[in-house]
Chains A and B, each alone.
Chain A
Amino acid sequence: GAVVSQHPSRVICKSGTSVKIECRSLDFQATTMFWYRQFPKQSLMLMATSNEGSKATYEQGVEKDKFLINHASLTLSTLTVTSAHPEDSSFYICANGIPDMNTEAFFGQGTRLTVV
């Protein structure tokens, strides 16, 4: 079945550096990709919605200059955490948008980011 492949699964970076997380849809075209963040013991929180060929829509409180989202093709959406700080350490996960009732939700494997 359709799969969303997310990479990397784990990353440790130094404060001040940038980290790029990729989500690829392997056998379907994802015009919309949701990006979520999950803190320990908490539910997934929507950060932004990326749309192929247009600007992402960010949720209130999410800094668009810090969390850069690019959805340049129907198979690739990326999230770049710029100038990372320890408080950005979290679990980030993507999921494809669902265009109709017959489409499943597919989630990436998630990326555990640790900023030291």
Chain B
Amino acid sequence: KNEVEQSPQNLTAQEGEFITINCSYSVGISALHWLQQHPGGGIVSLFMLSSGKKKHGRLIATINIQEKHSSLHITASHPRDSAVYICAAYTGNQFYFGTGTSLTVIP
């Protein structure tokens, strides 16, 4: 069993839809990261969370420490949001990565 589980693995949405990607982890964390990986491979850090909720533009990330669960939400999705979204749990000395959610937003 992986230390970080993500769902769904693949997601196709119509432009404008509200999207949720879920992440569950089993390790003790100092922070939970959401990453975005574009087709070329480059990775961008979207959020770093240790509690509560963060919002950046159309992106919202939440975390429930007791339940060891985090969600990434995208409001009013757009084709440029198409990418792989990766949940990464940081324990204090290493990352554990989910396998990613491949999101395709259709115009």
Contact = CB atoms under 8 A, between A and B. Distances in A.
Interface of A: 9, 34, 38, 42-44, 46, 49, 91, 93, 95, 98, 101, 104-107, 109-110, 112
B97 A107 contact: no
Interface stretch (B13-21, B36-44, B58-66): B36-44
A95 B96 CA distance: 13
A18 to B, nearest CB: 22
A98 B94 CA distance: 9
Contact of A105 (B2, B41, B45): B45
| Interface range on chain B (Cβ under 8 Å from partner) | 20 to 34
Contacts of A109: 41-43
B106 interface: no
16 contacts: A9-B40, A44-B86, A44-B97, A91-B41, A93-B43, A95-B95, A101-B31, A101-B50, A104-B48, A105-B33, A105-B45, A105-B90, A107-B35, A107-B42, A110-B43, A112-B41
